[in-house]
Chains A and B, each alone.
Chain A
Amino acid sequence: MSILAPAPPSAATASAPRTLPRRRGGEPASVLATLVLLLGAAYCLLPVLWVVVASTKSGGELFSTFTFAPSTHLLENVSDLNAYRDGLFWRWMANTALYAGVGALLSTVVSAMAGFGLAKYRFGGKKAIFNMLLAGVLVPGVVLAIPQYLLLAQIGMTNTYWAVLLPQIISPYGIYLARIYAAASVPDEIVEAGRTDGAGEGRIFRTLALPMMLPGLVTVFLFQFVAIWNNFMLPYIMLGDDKLYPLTVGLSGLLNQGASQPALYTLVITGALLSIIPLIALFLTLQRYWQVDLAAGAVKA
């Protein structure tokens, strides 16, 4: 089975500035290759640029002035958004941070433990357990949402924070990655040395294995964080109370109301801008962890 596996976060991104001088010396620039890249960048930046400009416009200007002509109403729009139902938007932001932050952290801990257990021990049923977990990678996640809803409804847990948080802690893919990381970064000799020193298995995991697996676990955390942050269907199904909504469900609902009250459109647009800032910041600061190597996973598995 071969799934995504992160490469050691060092090579490409870190060396980009260092190759600069070499680049200038040798190869002639290719106009075509550069143009293709810049066109791709323009395509990908266009909607982001639009939302930055559009969030500076008043409701009337949105439909009357040229798309990329900026205006001066950004602060007004933000304060309108603050005022919308006593700051409901910030509540959505906090909910999203809670779902994604706590969910991804718990998911990383569970994945790290399971990955370490699978990589460093021999025990009965190991292969069966691993295959079962791996099959989970291919289960279309959204197909689970309805039976999950029905099961949680029977114990009265729908429409609570738990309903969105708990189903997203298990990440078969995270376990798979953690296993690769534990196998590659924690030498058996270190585990043995820990045992000789009399450390218990739990202590070996916490104090020896965990620090060694950390760079890989950051990748596991990021994947799960983005997956939860972007998830729409699960909270959409689970939640009825809009105070519990994450940003995705909240903004989608606001857009829905906008169909009858176009005044809400400026709120939706300003909200969209504010909601992508945190993730973009996270991306830019943790860039070096975004190295995804599919083939390495294929070779190792």
Chain B
Amino acid sequence: MTATQDAPTTTATSRRTTAGRDGRRTAPYFFLAPAIVLFVVFLALPIAYAVYLSFRTEQVSGLGLGSGARTQVWTGFTNYAQALTDPEFLASVGRVALYGVIVVPTMLGLALIFALMLDSRRSRARGFSRISIFLPYAVPAVISSLLWGFLYLPDVSPFYYVFDRLGWDVPSLFSSNLVIFAVANIAVWGGVGFNMVVIYTSLKAIPTELYEAARLDGCSETRIAWRIKIPIVTPSIIMTFVFSMIATLQVFAEPTTLKPLSNTISSTWTPLMKVYRDAFIRGDLYSAAATSVIIAVATFALSFGFLHLVQSRAFGQEK
């Protein structure tokens, strides 16, 4: 747009053609250089370093006093074997698995329902609802945990006020059986709006002629939703599923924030909380590195495994 004004004079053009051809060859590397450098320094190198550390350990000779008493040595898969048999780690994995089973289907189910209702021509208050449901995406997980944390406290909570008036004795949401739902609710609250927008955007992309034809054939709105809308937005739902799954495995901020309000959340409540504790409170970097690598591998395996599964099931016939 502004370029036409800066177009150089013709004499400059002839001089520049050879230089230009040269520039065209080196230009892409120049454009990619910052990204590649940052990628290597802040992604590739840390991964390699974590893998390296996970095979190392510190050996203490004598009483472990003085410099030189502690030396780093190779230890093979010992750290991995220890991590995979550590009851605290296994408990945290089990907890996160249950947490994921609660969060992901609830969040995506609600997101799909809201998206379909937004897309329905018969609903009202759509603009208001869309903004309201998307709003939690603007609230950092720490802040939303803090807000919900107070809403869970029986002294503050409006829910407990109502239960109290009704004479119901409802156990605290921070009790050990219910705390997982307390954390899951925060994740659902924070994620439902974003996923709704993802699904809603792909619903909007469906040509309306498709519905018109179905309506002429006497299809009800519910039938249109099941037979046309949901199948078309399935690829979006699959991607939101994968991203939600990755986020679930990494849950850290919510339980860490809720911890001071509740004594049922231990410092190894989720796998990443355990990694944090091992690395920074116990100072055992090596087993923390091994646990990180296990989480990363599990994340990759789950996302690719799932994508592979749905691709061969759902899109197999297209290829």
Please give the residue numbers on chain A whose beta carbons come within 8 Å of chain B beta carbons, in ascending order.
2-4, 7, 11-12, 16, 23, 26-30, 33-34, 36-38, 40-48, 50-51, 54, 62-63, 66-68, 110-111, 113-114, 116-118, 121, 123, 126, 129, 132-133, 136, 138-144, 146-148, 150-151, 166-167, 169-170, 172, 175, 194-205, 207-208, 211, 226, 229-230, 232-233, 236-237, 247-249, 251-252, 255-256, 258-259, 265, 268-269, 272, 275-276, 279-280, 282-284, 287, 290-296, 298
Contacts and interface: CB of A to CB of B under 8 A. Distances in A.
Interface stretch (B20-28, B63-71, B82-90, B167-175): B20-28
Contacts of A204: 3
Interface in B127-180: 127-129, 131-144, 146-151, 155-158, 161
Given A33-B123, A138-B300, A170-B39, A279 B139 contact: yes
Contacts of A275: 140, 143
B43 A293 contact: no
Given A167-B42, A295-B202, 19 more contacts: A33-B120, A36-B114, A37-B124, A37-B126, A37-B133, A48-B136, A63-B156, A110-B35, A110-B38, A114-B35, A133-B39, A146-B276, A146-B288, A211-B1, A232-B141, A233-B276, A237-B280, A290-B134, A292-B201
Interface of B is mostly: helix
Interface string B81-122: 000000000000000000000000000001001100110111
A140 B146 contact: no
Interface in B48-67: 49-50, 53
Given A28-B122, A294-B240, A147 B47 contact: yes
B292 A248 contact: no
A132 B236 CA distance: 23
Nearest to B254: A232
Nearest to A265: B150
B312 interface: no
A300 B30 CA distance: 25
Nearest to B128: A41
B122 A170 contact: no
Given A67-B161, A232-B141, A150 B32 contact: no
Contacts of B295: 140, 143
A33 B117 contact: yes
A41 B129 contact: yes
B140 A129 contact: no
A37 B123 contact: yes
A259 B260 CA distance: 6
Given A50-B151, A66-B158, A114-B31, A138 B246 contact: yes
B28 A44 contact: no
Nearest to B5: A207
Contacts of A4: 198, 239, 243
B35 A133 contact: yes
A34 B256 contact: no
14 contacts: A33-B120, A33-B123, A45-B135, A46-B151, A47-B136, A54-B150, A66-B158, A126-B28, A144-B47, A146-B279, A252-B146, A255-B260, A272-B143, A276-B140
A68 B156 CA distance: 10
Interface of B: 1-3, 6-8, 12-13, 16-17, 19-20, 23-25, 27-32, 34-36, 38-39, 42-43, 45-47, 49-50, 53, 110, 113-114, 117-118, 120-129, 131-144, 146-151, 155-158, 161, 189, 192-194, 197-198, 200-202, 204-205, 233, 235-236, 239-240, 243, 246, 249-250, 252-253, 256-257, 259-261, 272, 275-276, 279-280, 285, 288-289, 292-293, 295-296, 299-300, 303
Given A50-B150, A138-B299, A197-B7, A150 B156 contact: no
B261 A259 contact: yes
A236 B205 CA distance: 40
B13 A132 contact: no
B5 to A, nearest CB: 9
Given A47-B144, A67-B156, A200-B16, A40 B129 contact: yes
Given A113-B32, A170-B39, A175-B35, A251 B299 contact: no
Interface of A is mostly: helix
Given A36-B113, A138-B303, A280 B135 contact: yes
B20 A287 contact: no
Contacts of B261: 255, 259
A142 B279 CA distance: 13
Contacts of B275: 143, 146
Contacts of B28: 117-118, 121, 123, 126
A252 B135 contact: no
B31 A117 contact: yes
Nearest to A275: B143
A37 B236 contact: no
Given A50-B151, A136-B43, A292 B8 contact: no
Contacts of B299: 138, 140, 143
